[in-house]
Chain A
Amino acid sequence: MGRDLLLFITVFAACAVEAVEAVTIVLAAGLTRGWRSSLAGLSVALIVLAAIVAVLGPALTVVPIDALRLVVGGLLVVFGLQWLRKAILRASGFVPLHDEEAIFARELADARAAGREPGGIDGYGFLLSFKGVLLEGLEVAFIAVTLGSSQHNVGLAAAAAVTAVAVVAAVGIVVHAPLSRVPENPLKFGVGVMLTTFGIFWGAEGAGVDWPGGDAAILAILAFTLAASLSLVAALRRRHLRTVTA
């Protein structure tokens, strides 16, 4: 139950972060190049993502569980540390926060500047929307499938992914503007901590480790990773302040 809840929260948060970025691009394409092209690009990208999940999900279930956990655990630690690295650099001030409004303005300007083809579906709007949704969605689809299959619960991971996308899309439709108020960096930080935690647990299990305390070890790893990451944010923040004021 605890593992399932963590799985749902991790996939939901990861999908929400990427969906915010995808909605920004779809909105920019829709407002400048027409909704028909933008929504067509979105639909085709979602079909491609669904096909990838449909092929990858069942394929992973035939891989022996220890080998699967070793490979998936390793990849999750790599993904998790990359997300954490980005989030810590942003939280400590070394890198500017991801600004959805600035990205939206840039996409709008680029889309307006591009030439328009007469009649039918606008190629630029279609491709902008398709590429944005596919690229933002691929990592999340991969995370959902690998997390779900390692825990023998692809259905729950898929439900978390669909719920997150539906919630973000609904908010995007209602506000009709980039979702700049979503606390993207804290979400990214949280997802990074959870991906790293799952990755450490499964990767080590796949390598033959028996965790002291069994499944309860996940909570200890989570607390350890979270405490270390928060300490790194605090240390780098102090260092950045010293650099700026020097």
Chain B
Amino acid sequence: MRHVRAFANFLYGFVIGDDPLIAVAVVAALGLTAVLTDAGLAAWWIMPLAAVGILVVSLHRATRSRGGADLRG
């Protein structure tokens, strides 16, 4: 059980990393891109804007309350 939990922790850190918001928001942006493309609309601009927006929000969350932030690796 301990090994399973350790492996799950490793997988979580490996894929999700320091800020779970990044993974969730990237999936949402890709989903929106797919939906708009399916509807015949131009959606190429969503991912570049979403990536920068996600980065801004994630950095803001990491730095808003103090002068430092915690990082893995």
A-B complex is real: yes
Residues of A within 8 A of B (CB): 70, 73-75, 77-82, 84-86, 88-89, 94-95, 138-139, 196, 199-200, 203-204, 206-212, 217, 221, 224-225, 228-229, 232, 236, 239-240, 243-244
Q: Considering the complex of A and B, which 7 residue pairs feature the smallest CB-CB distances, nearest first?
A: A208-B37, A207-B34, A82-B17, A207-B33, A200-B47, A228-B52, A204-B47
| CB-contact partner of A232 in B16, B27, B56, under 8 A | B56
| CB-contact partner of A78 in B22, B46, B59, under 8 A | B22
Question: Given A82-B22, A89-B69, A204-B47: A232 and B15 within 8 A (CB)?
Answer: no
Given contacts A94-B69, A209-B33, 8 further A-B contacts (CB under 8 A): A74-B26, A88-B55, A204-B46, A208-B43, A209-B43, A210-B44, A240-B63, A243-B67
Which A residues are in CB contact (< 8 Å) with B52? 224-225, 228
Which of A80, A85, A95 gathers the greatest number of chain B CB atoms within 10 Å? Answer: A85
Which B residues are in CB contact (< 8 Å) with A199? 51
Which B residues are in CB contact (< 8 Å) with A211? 44
| CB-contact partner of B30 in A85, A138, A207, under 8 A | A207
Question: Judging by beta carbons under 8 Å apart, are B58 and A94 in contact?
Answer: no
Residues of B within 8 A of A (CB): 14-19, 22-23, 26-27, 30, 33-34, 37-38, 43-44, 46-48, 51-52, 54-56, 58-59, 62-63, 67-69, 71, 73
Question: Judging by beta carbons under 8 Å apart, are A77 and B34 in contact?
Answer: no
The distance from the CB of B68 to the nearest CB of chain A, in whole angstroms, is 6
| Distance of A121 Cα from B56 Cα, bound (Å) | 49
Question: Given A82-B17, A225-B48, A225-B51: A70 and B30 within 8 A (CB)?
Answer: yes
| Distance of A203 Cα from B51 Cα, bound (Å) | 11
Which A residues are in CB contact (< 8 Å) with B37? 207-209
Which B residues are in CB contact (< 8 Å) with A70? 30, 34
A-B contact pairs, 9 of them (CB 8 A): A73-B30, A85-B19, A85-B58, A85-B62, A94-B63, A204-B47, A206-B30, A207-B43, A208-B34
Question: Given A200-B48, A208-B34: A81 and B68 within 8 A (CB)?
Answer: no
